[in-house]
Amino acid sequence: MPPPQSTPSRESLSSTATDSEPQPQPDRDAEKVPPQQQPTNSTTTDFGPPPDGGLEAWMVVVGGFCAVFASFGWINCIGIFQDYYQNHQLKSYSASTVAWIPSLESFMMFFCGPLVGKMTDELGPRIPILLGSFLHVFAIGAVGTWFLRHRAIAFGVITSGSSIGGVVLPIMVNRLVVRIGFGWAMRSIAFLFLGLLAIANLTLKSRLPPPRRKFDLKDFITPFKEMPFLLLTVGGFMLYLGSFLPFNFIIVQAKALGISPNLAEYMVPIINASSTFGRLLPAWLGDRIGVFNVMIPITLLGGIFTLAVWLPASSSALVIVYAVLYGFTSGCTLSIVPAMVASISDVRSIGTRNGSLYAVAAVGALIGSPIAGAIVNDQGGEEFSGLIVFCGVSILLGGVLAGLSRHALVGLEWRKKV
């Protein structure tokens, strides 16, 4: 296996883009495609550049959408279970203890990233997605081999499945639990996922034949020697430490403010509906000005909105405003990270490197909600200001670390497409 790309200097970034671009106008094309996205290995060259479109490529996107609907879409509605468990089966337990349930679900999805990413790189996506259909995880790294210039928008369409799932599933669960009970509500969701994952199994595939390589632990560790990747990974940890807290606790917090339960239950769907636009519009913009250039300011805005809008919110109107604003920013923040990793990775190791990053981010997802729940318990169980500050600061630190990762790539050249 070729070693992962080392961190390029500003001069080498420029020369790489010029040397590797076959078009007659290298300067213009180098601005369109970040140099770290240029194919650098013989396998990619042998099979030609990514088609960046066509029926086959977009069917891969459809399959990825279905897989994400059934995985991240479910994760994005876990706030309804935090509220449901606290008021039904587990009402005798503290919020911090109950929070381990959704946080463990998020953790297991992300922590399996290295294994799933390596399997995707070595075997292609079909076997991982088949196994994931039974284990409720996903493998969508194949899209990175089909798109280059439009990679961010392709990832954006796929990850919008989590937003749409996060709108549909909470409403569906709330209605079904009342009509047919909790058990059959869960079975009904399982049948829906069965159909979606069947589509994913039929459509997800890699454009490049997977190289057969022996398992080597160094494949997961080597990327951390690159400063841009290391900083991005630590930033991912901070993001996942705080980014799921509004999804998990906004319903409970809204009810504590005296907002009617019927309205409070729609807070998570509102976040997810808004995040649909946050996944698509910034992704479209990222293909034009660079994924780092889009993600960093929007992530910082997410932290600012949390501290400036959610923290002082004392009415349903302000909580709804926050849900809309945070939904948009979180949609960008959580969906564009795979495109950021792809932009600084060899195309044949995207799955492995994404897995390495998400294994670290998984720890943040695991401990974030229990820590937040413990903060709420320490404040008497009805006060959420400490949780909100913890959430906002974590997101802000994630944005700052992503900015430092960009600085390690290209320095202070803020007009450069990265």
- Given pLDDT bands bounded at 50, 70 and 90, which one contains residue 6? very low
209-240 confidence digits (pLDDT tens): 766 666 677 878 888 999 999 999 999 999 99
pTM, two decimal places? 0.74
Question: Which CATH number fits the domain that encloses residue 246?
Answer: 1.20.1250.20
Secondary structure of 35-89 as H, E, C letters: HHHCCCCHHHHHCCCCCCCCHHHHHHHHHHHHHHHCCHHHHCCCHHHHHHHHHCC
- Residue 418 located in a structural domain: no
End-to-end alpha carbon distance in the chain? 26
String of DSSP letters for 230-271: HHHHHHHHHHHHHTTHHHHHHHHHHHHTT--HHHHTTHHHHH
Domain of 370, in residue numbers = 48-207+220-410
- Residue 10 located in a structural domain: no
Q: Taking 50 as the threshold, does the pLDDT of residue 205 lie above it?
A: yes
Q: How many residues does the chain have?
A: 418
Cα separation, 247 vs 15, whole angstroms = 44
- Residue 7 located in a structural domain: no
Counting the structural domains of the chain, the total is: 1
Q: Taking 60 as the threshold, does the pLDDT of residue 39 lie above it?
A: no
Q: Taking 60 as the threshold, does the pLDDT of residue 26 lie above it?
A: no
Task: Return the DSSP state at 345.
Answer: S
Q: Taking 90 as the threshold, does the pLDDT of residue 307 lie above it?
A: yes
Cα separation, 40 vs 26, whole angstroms = 16
- Residue 126 located in a structural domain: yes
- Residue 5 located in a structural domain: no
Residue 294's alpha-carbon distances to 37, 143, 340, 403, in angstroms, are: 16, 20, 10, 11
Comparing CA positions, the residue from 189, 294, 205, 316 lying closest to residue 250 is: 316
Q: Where are the alpha helices (DSSP H) in 344-384?
A: 350-378
- Residue 361 located in a structural domain: yes
- Residue 17 located in a structural domain: no
One-letter amino acid identity for 17?
A: A
- Residue 4 located in a structural domain: no
Q: Taking 60 as the threshold, does the pLDDT of residue 88 lie above it?
A: yes
Sign of the torsion formed by the C-alpha atoms of 101, 102, 103 and 104: positive
411: left (phi over 0), alpha (psi -120 to 50) or beta: left
